[in-house]
Amino acid sequence: MTNTRIYIGRLPQRASEQDVYRFFKGYGRIREVVIKNGFGFVEFSEVRDAEDAVFDLNGKELCGDRVVLEFSRRHPRDRDRGRFDDRYSRRDSRYGPPYQTPYRLLVENLSTRCSWQDLKDFMRDAGEVTYADAHKIQRREGIICFATRNSMERAMDKFQGKDINGRRIKLVDDSRRKSRSRMTTTEHIVRTVLENLRVSANDVERANQLKEEANQFFKDQAYDVAIELYSSAIELDPKVPAYYGNRSMAYLKKELYGSALEDAETALSLDPKYIKGYYRKATANMALGKYRLALRDYEMVKKCCPSDQDALKKFTECQKIVRRIAFEKAISCDHDHKSIADSIDVEKMVVESDYKGPHLENGEITVDFMKELIATFKAQGRLHLKYAYKILLEIRKYFMKESTLVDIAVPDRQKFTICGDVHGQFYDLCNIFDLNGLPSEENPYLFNGDFVDRGSFSVETIFTLFGFKLLYPRHFYMSRGNHESDVMNKMYGFEGEVKSKYNNQMAELFTEIFNYLPLCHVVNHKILVCHGGLFKSEGITLDQIRGTNRVRQPPDEGIMCDLLWSDPQDANGRAPSKRGVGCQFGPDVTEDFCRRNGLLYVVRSHEVKPLGYERHHNDKCFTVFSAPNYCDTMSNKGAFITITGDNMYPPRFTEFDAVAHPPVRPMAYASSLFGFN
């Protein structure tokens, strides 16, 4: 019988759960830590993680004392529990429920047309297959487990290099390696590609091979791998503009605009006539809101290619934006600013007799209204314009009175849920509520920014969130993300979606409302929750955040910018952000900020993670991302955090998979100016 539970003997009395988590950090996902008087238990998610931990750490010091580690007997609570979770029990009943064994192979270079069932059927000729998965952790890669070592070795001999759906697979014995939960999958794939390159006479030819491999991964939307392979090509042959141009495009796909801009400029320094370099620069500058610089780039393209209709179109569209911004600035100097809300008269709007959606009786949002609204959206219905405006005008009034930093009090034993980016993935948002319960006074939520853009159901998503905010104003919280901004909404589809489903006036009203959203929350004086991260400047305090003016479009620097845009890094200190805005901050920065402000840890979002979450900085910083299979391409899980008022550390993560949605592709409403639709 496999065992994931470790007994910890000679455990010092002074050792806390946090000490135990840190002791076992890096050996895989930990399900539970239990501290007793002089001993304890730690339970891992995977058997191999537990085995590695016992092998490496038995006899090592924990809080100054040497501890004894050994596998425990099965926990009493598990005796009556089924061995396998529902996710696997549904998948194959012909040969019993799937389960992982130590006799495990990685299947590399797997065709994207090959499913886990195809892989399992193919491998059965070697022996009994107990588990199979395909493209779950990384595209073009699968996992296969056998009941015996003989079967695994037979598969290695029989199927190594065999063709499945047009690709020759590579089988790697994973039975003796440490858990892939601790491996950098991107590095592993890059290493495999490098090992399998054709023998080349010189670096130039080898670099070109790497570029071709990178192009294929780019087409498969494996942008992290593509970036690493383009980088390897550049190391071998640093004078080829196309390598920088291609990597720049991959950076754009990852929203790393600073790095994209740098590569585009390098490409142009090598060849001033490299037209794609100007395109890359223009796109990055547009994303950073630097429209005049983008216009110069498009003008260069137009000069170099006067008959190129696409270049002319992009130049014209960008020119319109620059002129509109100049006009808006001019009239704002001559007149007092007037809210778009002042021009909306809801009472004159008529609800037609054939309208099938929910009605706002007496203008009040109720539980029944919210349930009917969700059902209407699921059926691809629409909320009537009158009711949509009522919600928006009420939410505007509410957020106008809100603070930049909102304090949340969570009572003892009450569950509190924190969700990350949902990015217009309405059906996955509904799945969160199915898994974790609808919001209520007994089931409060905090959604941590990036509600819209990319996903093509952003309108449905934002009205659902705004509805719950009005229904439970002190039990449902929303903080601003970098995508709650005019520049991002124009680029990534929300503005286009609102104009398509409603009108231009409503798109302007959303921009105004987003300006009033809080920038962050503090839970029980101990947890800072913000979308991006910490600060470029030293010594920032919570009181400084409270005093920050948020009612504006995000600036290029300062507290507001960093809260929306920054990312954690492994190295100490600070570094310029690859995004071109915000910064990267290290473990020492997080430690100092938490100590200075009396916090346990920071929760942030802003980045896709394979499991939907990631731990950073000695468990002082956590990322949570709640949009599974992001943009229908990333194959990541989503996750959310739950805590209780009397048990805030460590936060508990729940992973979940993507659910089906109607056949509307992501970015369907994005502007063609940016080349995303």
The three-point CA angle 304-306-309 to 5° equals: 120
Beta bridge partners of 104: 145
CA Rg value for the chain: 27
The SS3 assignment for 39 reads strand
CA distance 389 to 25: 49
Q: How many CA atoms lie less than 13 Å away from 258 in the CB half-sphere?
A: 13
User: What burial letters (b/e) apply to 492-523, b meaning 16+ CB within 10 Å?
Assistant: bbbbbbbeebbeeebbbbbbbbbbbbbbbbbb
Given a contact cutoff of 8 angstroms between Cβ atoms, the answer to whether 502 and 389 are in contact is no
Rounded Cα–Cα distance for residues 511 and 133 (Å): 43
Query: Could you tell me which of 117, 114, 158 has the C-alpha nearest to residue 140?
Result: 114
> Who contacts 472 (Cβ-Cβ below 8 Å, separation ≥6)?
439, 440, 441, 444
Token pair for residue 594?
Answer: 């938490």
Least Cα distance to 560 among 450, 404, 421, 422 occurs for 404
Going by C-alpha positions, the residue among 388, 584, 401 that lies closest to residue 503 is 388
- Cβ neighbourhood burial of 398 (10 Å; 0-12, 13-18, 19+): middle
Cα–Cα distance, 171 to 104 (Å, whole number): 10
- Give the bridge partners for 446, in sequence order: 418, 477
For residues 37 and 488, give the distance between their C-alpha atoms in angstroms, rounded to a whole number: 54
Distance (Å, whole) CA 67 – CA 41: 12
| E strand map for 518-646 | 520-523, 527-530, 567-568, 574-576, 583-585, 601-604, 613-616, 621-624, 638-644
> How far apart, in whole angstroms, are the C-alpha atoms of residue 185 and residue 610?
10
Phi, psi at residue 483, to the nearest 5°?
-85, 0
Q: How many CB atoms lie within 10 A of CB 642?
A: 14
What is the set of active-site residues?
A: 483
Find out whether 430 and 374 touch, Cβ atoms under 8 Å: yes
DSSP 78: G
CB atoms within 10 A of CB 584: 21
Which are the contacts of 400, defined by CB distance < 8 A and separation ≥ 6?
A: 516
The C-alpha angle with vertex 119 and arms to 114 and 124, in degrees rounded to 5, equals 155
10 Å Cβ neighbour count for 648?
16
CA–CA dist 625, 409 (Å, integer): 23
Position 514, amino acid: F
State the DSSP H helix or E strand holding residue 472, giving kind and residue range, or none if neither.
Answer: none
Q: Which of 150, 191, 149, 151 is nearest to 170 (CA)?
A: 191
